[in-house]
Amino acid sequence: MKKKLLSVMLASVLAMSMIGCGSSAVSGVTETETTESTDSAQSTDAAQSADATSAEPAGEGSGEDLNVMLETPVESLDPQQATDGTSFEVIADYTDGLMQMDADGQAVNAIAESVDISDDGLTYTFHLRADANWSNGDPVTANDFVFAWQRAVDPEIASEYSYMLSDIGQIVNAQDVIDGAKDKSELGVTAVDDKTLEVKLNVPVSYFLSLMYFPTFYPVNEAFYESVGDTFATSPETTLSNGAFVLDDYQPAATAIHLTKNENYYDAAKVKLAGLNYQVIQDSQQALMSYQNGDLDTTLVNGEQVDQVKDDPAFAAIGAGYMWYISPNIKEVKELDNLNIRYAITMALNREAITTDVLKDGSAPTYTSVPMDFAAGPDGSDFSADQTMFSDYCKYDAAAAADYWAKGLEELGITELNLTMIHDADDAPIKVAQVVKEQLETTLPGLTVDLQQMPKKERVERMQEGEFEIALTRWGPDYADPMTYLGMWVTNNSNNYGFWSNAEYDKIIDECTTGETAMDPAARWAALYDAEKIVMEEAVIFPLYTQCNAELISTSVSGIEFHPVALNRVYKNAVKN
Amino acid sequence: MKKYVIKRVVTALFTLLAITLILFILMQLMPGSPFNDEKLNDTQRASLYAKYGLDQPIVVQFFRYVINMFKGDLGVSYKISKNTPITQLIASRLPISIGVGFAAVMIGALVGLCLGLLAAFKKDTVWDTLATIISVIGVSVPSYVFALALSYQFGFKLKWFPMLFSAKDVIGSSVLPSISLSMFTMASIARFTRAEMIEVLGSDYMLLAESKGLSGNKLIFAHALRNALIPIITVLAPLVVDLMTGSLVVEKIFSIPGVGSLLVNAIQSNDYNVVIALSFIYSAMYIGIMLVVDILYGVIDPRIRVAKEGD
Amino acid sequence: MADTTVLTKEPYVPQDEDFKLKGNIEDILVDTNFASQSFWKEVVARFRKKKSAVLGLIFVLVITFFAFIGPGMNQYTYSGQDLSQKNLAPRIPIIEYTGFFDGHENIATTKGTKTVNLYFENKLPDVFYWFGSDNFGRDIWTRTWSGAQVSLIIAVAAAIIDMIIGMSYGLISGYFGGKVDMVMQRILEIANGIPRLVIVTLLLLVFKPGMLTIIVALMLTEWVGMSRIARAEMLKLKEQEFVLASRTLGAGSMHIIFSEVLPNIIGPIITQVMFSIPTAIFTEAFLSFVGLGIPVPRCSLGSLISEGFNSFTTHPYQIIPPIVVMALLMLSFNLVADGLREALDPKLKEM
């Protein structure tokens, strides 16, 4: 998360290209009509609608339910309280924000019919469409947004994602309201009339429109909310829809969720599915068997099951956005303060082996500190498309690693080093940690890596407190700009787990957010590369891979849109034959 | 008798209160905190703590909790649909867990009883060994493997029963989970029945009944079984609670929206209120059932009551 | 004797011969009905009569043997990975010519079953994994036995510690009775009332995960049952004459509890220990499944099963060895425990 102001001034909305795991990993993916684009460097504007439209045999809606597997239960359907991808996905099924995500992850108008942006980029005026209604018949008004956004920053509600309005969205007074210094009515968002919403920002935020499809910004009908009180969004009766589907079967932490097509949706003609049928299945083998039985149309596949499904045309690797990396505790562990030791460790990591031999889900080895396929630059190309850019500082090279290791040990005057690596007690991290241990111990003589697994909550706490030596961790992008990663390693950032500090780096990041450079997209882009170079040169983190999920998507289904940021799956245009 | 019952109920209440206090202290010892998402900053964390009263001293939190509990309010979850009362969360899940658990106990008790009787009557024969093996095999393989094997064979291959729990077909989709859960009960009951039965069959009054000329069936059902069953009820009671509060593993595999998986997720995400509430319900059920069994026992067998009152 | 005197008319005059030793001393001392045997000799004899128990004991010994010898029987180690040799099916020299254990496997893919032999595909003619290799290319034979070793150590240690603690607790509580018993039983009720999962999870989260922590966690789940049995036995015995005699002779409470009563209840206690070993193995397996088991890359039977669980439908051979070993171990311990119980409790001997 960023602490610094963002004032990125770009001429156009940043486009988010689809993540293209297929290009780097599993073959035999392309036959499916899903919208994932296999070429990561693809020009977003030209190709954006191609997939979506070709995948849409006009008028052939069979009127069937789409059966979807969920790995974890929905945590909350309250748009301002939800924090996890699963919840976001379901909320977005039945709620439209001002903007929506298209197949390529670009923001397109939804409830907003048009947007006026002031010349200084500080005022956004949204004009809402007249035919947008809630499922109880009420029209969707500007006040619904004002109410919802005020909830998001209300200290009473204590929304975990309030920083989307303050740090990232830069809405006037958001931070003060969150801190309790100002009343929520002073938030810089006003309903000029029923259908006009005006938002004021502290500084220009280039990607502001793309935030509008983030569920934290979704509207809530005030009168309805008042009528249901605390039970809001805990059952179909206490939920209102203004989107493509209507929720009709749900309870908190349910294992089965059902939604039916919303006939009163303004865009109902485009919705081909009769409904969505979510089934939470935590065991991957039950999931695969259910898929084979025809009870599911799409399911997640475990790395171990890939042998069973790799020849299936329904098999696809879908980008999940997360970058996994190892964070050394540079400040507390003096051995890790030695650059040669850090080089030795990062060069002893065989990332190819981790992704192809162990994970097997299509995850892509990563040699940059910003993962691939989520942030496109001024010229439309992916920020991290060129993985060889900094690979000299981290690429697997057993001989070089051993050399650095020997040099480092000599400098430190030791012959042995014992490191404890903490990691999450989940399937993938446990596997990766074991390979990492083996790779490091075989390549670097005298190194012992002890593994310590724990629930994620505890691991995060340990990292925040600095009570660790090395840690296997991951980071998912909040918005489509490299800054969501590079901002982390600024001095004193709460997610700078290595407690690394570099004045030059801080200066570049500062320049890119509030300084001169921020005004010039091309120069900013170049400066961000400079910053990334410092991170890689100093081996502040040891990047591992960009996560992909191996999925089976029945060949009779097309048009599901996958995204690495915000909404992982969008079904509005999905078709099932 | 009345005095005895009152005394037992009062001690049970104090036990529950003590358990709640210990749970509170345990929650404090738990590493991690419910609100340490990487994306939160310190001010936000502090305001979340303040909102849920977690910044208060533990004593204050405890008394507030106990007072609310008496009002029937078990607090709110920090994770699942924040601010939803836990009572609402549990209300829909407990019946499912109890249902599946009860079915499992019934299956387990019946099959276990039959195996136990068979083993006792055919003691030291092949039947005895076979019954032992059958009853132990159920607990020799971890329940998740057993559950998956059942699901694969009867759900996927033969398609007799649904592989996953479904609200539309509660009975049909409860068959496989109930069988997977019943194995432990079955083995315990079988073993216990066998031991009890052998002891009863060897007792003097059985010899007397036999010498009075009672025939086989009457002898077994009127005399032996009745006396053997009473101790079995004591073994069964805690098993009922264990199963009714759900088995996390079986719930996870069959996607059952029960309380077992809720508890484990809550522990791992530091959702204190849910952990305390579920543990409390579990303890209350356990102590409640033990209390009922104790009192019933006192009614059936006055010797026990006398012994206990003597304490 | 009285009858004979009545029948004889004349009083019998004892002769000298009547007072001579017959000389066949061996015959006299051998009493076929009431042979003078020690208690333990009797137990062994009764145990040996029960075939299933003997069989169980043999299995326990064999598995224990392999658990300590097995991991050293080939060149692999339990943690050594070789990603180029991952997911290889079982292959054993010589036996491979029979068509079994020759390294082939049938993979049930979504597009039908296919048979592959990765040893040939990967050109590994001289490589043998007797039980196959896992998804890191580790030898399953070595891992299974070293897992069995870890499981056995954990279970036996937990059972013994819980015996010591539970037994002492139960004996003391039962012996003193009254207020002491009341307080101790309430404490036990409280400890028993908190769901085990909560205590065990917390314990494993608070302390550094490892063998010792797991042993303590397992002990916590078992000691209550042990103390109940000890207390019940104590209540039965403490009113008996030998206890009274000791007390009259001035023996202290602790002496009576541990030197007088304890030896008399060792039977039920040992039986309970034997039953708690398989329970401990099983609980450990459950902890592994919840992610609280022995830290990787060390393994126990439980962690091996939960590791292989994900490949259950893809590469079933990976989960079969630990399951079979665990099932045999559970079954054998149960049979031994059953046999011991009957051997130790003569009441159950005859119907």
Q: For chain B, what are the domain ranges?
A: 92-262
Rounded Cα–Cα distance for residues C344 and A473 (Å): 56
Would an 8 Å CB–CB cutoff place C331 in contact with chain B?
A: yes
Alpha helices, DSSP H, located in chain B: 2-29, 42-51, 58-70, 86-121, 126-140, 143-150, 170-201, 204-211, 216-218, 226-244, 248-253, 259-268, 272-300, 302-310
Residue A285's contacts (CB-CB under 8 Å, 6 or more residues apart) are A302, A305, B148, B152, C309, C310, C312, C313
Contact A66, A553 (CB under 8 A): no
**pLDDT at residue A124, rounded to an integer:** 94
B261/A283 touch (CB, cutoff 8 Å), yes or no: no
**pLDDT at residue C8, rounded to an integer:** 55
Q: Which two tokens stand for residue A382?
A: 């992916």
Would an 8 Å CB–CB cutoff place C318 in contact with chain B?
A: no
Report the residue of chain C nearest B242, measured CA to CA.
Answer: C195
Would an 8 Å CB–CB cutoff place A77 in contact with chain B?
A: yes
- How confident is the model over A401-413, as pLDDT tens digits? 999 999 999 999 9
Rounded Cα–Cα distance for residues A170 and A4 (Å): 10
B142 min Cα distance to partner chain A (Å)? 15
Please report residues of B whose CB lies closer than 8 A to that of C319: 145
C136/A434 touch (CB, cutoff 8 Å), yes or no: yes
Residue A396 Cα distances to A357, A409, A446, A450, B163, angstroms: 15, 20, 19, 21, 45
**ipTM score of the complex?**
0.81
Q: Which two tokens stand for residue C207?
A: 């302390």
Please name the CATH architecture into which domain B92-262 falls: Orthogonal Bundle (1.10)
Whether A466 is in a domain gets the answer yes
Report the residue of chain B nearest C286, measured CA to CA.
Answer: B142
* pTM, two decimal places: 0.82
**pLDDT at residue A405, rounded to an integer:** 94
Confidence of residue A9 (pLDDT cuts 50, 70, 90): very low
Which has more pLDDT, B130 or A517? B130
**pLDDT at residue C25, rounded to an integer:** 58
Smallest Cβ distance to C305: which of B18, B145, B202? Answer: B145
Rounded Cα–Cα distance for residues A127 and A135 (Å): 21
Per residue of chain C (351 residues), give pLDDT as tens: 445 555 556 778 878 777 766 656 566 555 555 555 577 787 888 888 888 889 999 999 999 999 999 888 888 888 888 888 888 888 888 888 887 888 888 887 777 788 888 888 888 878 888 888 888 889 999 999 999 999 999 999 988 998 899 989 998 998 888 888 888 888 888 888 887 777 777 777 777 778 888 888 888 877 888 888 888 888 888 888 888 888 888 888 888 888 888 888 888 888 888 888 888 888 888 888 877 788 878 889 988 988 888 888 888 888 999 999 998 998 898 888 888 887 876 554 433
Chain center to CA of C108: 37
**pLDDT at residue A279, rounded to an integer:** 92
Smallest Cβ distance to A234: which of B81, B256, B270? Answer: B81
Chains near C, with 3+ CB pairs < 8 A?
Answer: A, B
Contact B262, B274 (CB under 8 A): yes
**pLDDT at residue B259, rounded to an integer:** 84
**pLDDT at residue A14, rounded to an integer:** 35
Would an 8 Å CB–CB cutoff place C313 in contact with chain A?
A: yes
B225 min Cα distance to partner chain C (Å)? 15
Report the residue of chain A nearest C86, measured CA to CA.
Answer: A357
Q: Which two tokens stand for residue A388?
A: 């060889």
Would an 8 Å CB–CB cutoff place A255 in contact with chain B?
A: yes
Q: Say yes or no to pLDDT of A33 above 50.
A: no
Please report residues of C whose CB lies closer than 8 A to that of B279: 194-195, 198
**pLDDT at residue C207, rounded to an integer:** 77
Whether A525 is in a domain gets the answer yes
C115 min Cα distance to partner chain A (Å)? 12
Rounded Cα–Cα distance for residues B33 and B90 (Å): 22
Please report residues of C whose CB lies closer than 8 A to that of B191: 338
Residue C21 dihedral angles phi and psi, to the nearest 5°: -70, 140
Would an 8 Å CB–CB cutoff place C311 in contact with chain B?
A: no
A284 min Cα distance to partner chain C (Å)? 7
- How confident is the model over A175-184, as pLDDT tens digits? 899 888 899 9
Whether A167 is in a domain gets the answer no
Interface test with chain C among A284, A299, A304, A452, by most C beta carbons within 10 Å: A304
Interface test with chain B among C334, C335, C342, by most B beta carbons within 10 Å: C334
CATH number for the domain that contains residue A511: 3.10.105.10
Q: What residues of chain C, 109 to 168, have a C-beta less than 8 Å from chain A?
A: 109-111, 135-136
What 3-state class would DSSP assign to A199? strand
Interface test with chain A among C87, C110, C204, by most A beta carbons within 10 Å: C110
Q: What residues of chain B, 139 to 178, have a C-beta less than 8 Å from chain C?
A: 139-145, 148, 152
Averaged confidence pLDDT in chain A: 83
**pLDDT at residue B38, rounded to an integer:** 67
A283 min Cα distance to partner chain C (Å)? 8
Q: Which two tokens stand for residue C120?
A: 């040939």
Residue A326 dihedral angles phi and psi, to the nearest 5°: -105, 130
Whether A428 is in a domain gets the answer yes
Report the range of poorest mean pLDDT among A227-236, A522-531, B195-204, B218-227: B218-227
Rounded Cα–Cα distance for residues B260 and B274 (Å): 11
- How confident is the model over A251-286, as pLDDT tens digits? 888 889 999 999 989 988 889 899 999 999 988 888
Residue ranges of chain B with per-residue pLDDT less than 70: 1, 36-41, 82-83, 216, 222, 244-246, 298-311
Neighbours of A315 (CB within 10 A): 23
**pLDDT at residue A217, rounded to an integer:** 94
User: Whole domain around residue A394: which residue ranges?
Assistant: 322-547
Rounded Cα–Cα distance for residues B206 and C350 (Å): 14
- How confident is the model over A85-114, as pLDDT tens digits? 889 999 999 999 999 888 877 888 999 999
Q: How many domains does chain A have?
A: 1
- How confident is the model over A308-365, as pLDDT tens digits? 888 888 898 888 888 999 999 998 898 999 999 999 999 999 999 999 888 888 899 9
Q: Where are the beta strands (DSSP E) in C239-295?
A: none
Report the residue of chain A nearest C306, measured CA to CA.
Answer: A427
Q: What residues of chain B, 178 to 237, have a C-beta less than 8 Å from chain C?
A: 191, 195, 198-199, 201-202
**pLDDT at residue A258, rounded to an integer:** 94
- How confident is the model over B9-21, as pLDDT tens digits? 888 888 888 888 8
Rounded Cα–Cα distance for residues A268 and A263 (Å): 6
Report the residue of chain A nearest B156, measured CA to CA.
Answer: A289
Query: What's the helix, strand, coil split of chain B in %, to 5?
Result: 80, 0, 20
Please report residues of A whose CB lies closer than 8 A to that of B163: 286, 289-290, 293, 295
Chain center to CA of B220: 31
**pLDDT at residue C102, rounded to an integer:** 81
- How confident is the model over A69-85, as pLDDT tens digits? 998 888 889 999 888 88
Please report residues of C whose CB lies closer than 8 A to that of A458: 205
Residue entry with tokens 């500090």: A501
Smallest Cβ distance to C178: which of B144, B245, B311? Answer: B311
**pLDDT at residue C253, rounded to an integer:** 83
Confidence of residue A162 (pLDDT cuts 50, 70, 90): confident
**pLDDT at residue B303, rounded to an integer:** 57
B145/C330 touch (CB, cutoff 8 Å), yes or no: no
A256-261 and A275-280 beta bridge pairing: antiparallel
Neighbours of A229 (CB within 10 A): 9
Would an 8 Å CB–CB cutoff place B64 in contact with chain C?
A: no
A314/C310 touch (CB, cutoff 8 Å), yes or no: no
C79/A289 touch (CB, cutoff 8 Å), yes or no: no
Which has more pLDDT, B65 or A41? B65
Please report residues of C whose CB lies closer than 8 A to that of A433: 296
**pLDDT at residue A21, rounded to an integer:** 54
- How confident is the model over A453-478, as pLDDT tens digits? 888 888 888 888 888 999 999 988 87
Q: Report CA dihedral (C149, C150, C154, C156) to the nearest 10 degrees.
A: 0
Would an 8 Å CB–CB cutoff place A494 in contact with chain B?
A: yes
Whether A392 is in a domain gets the answer yes
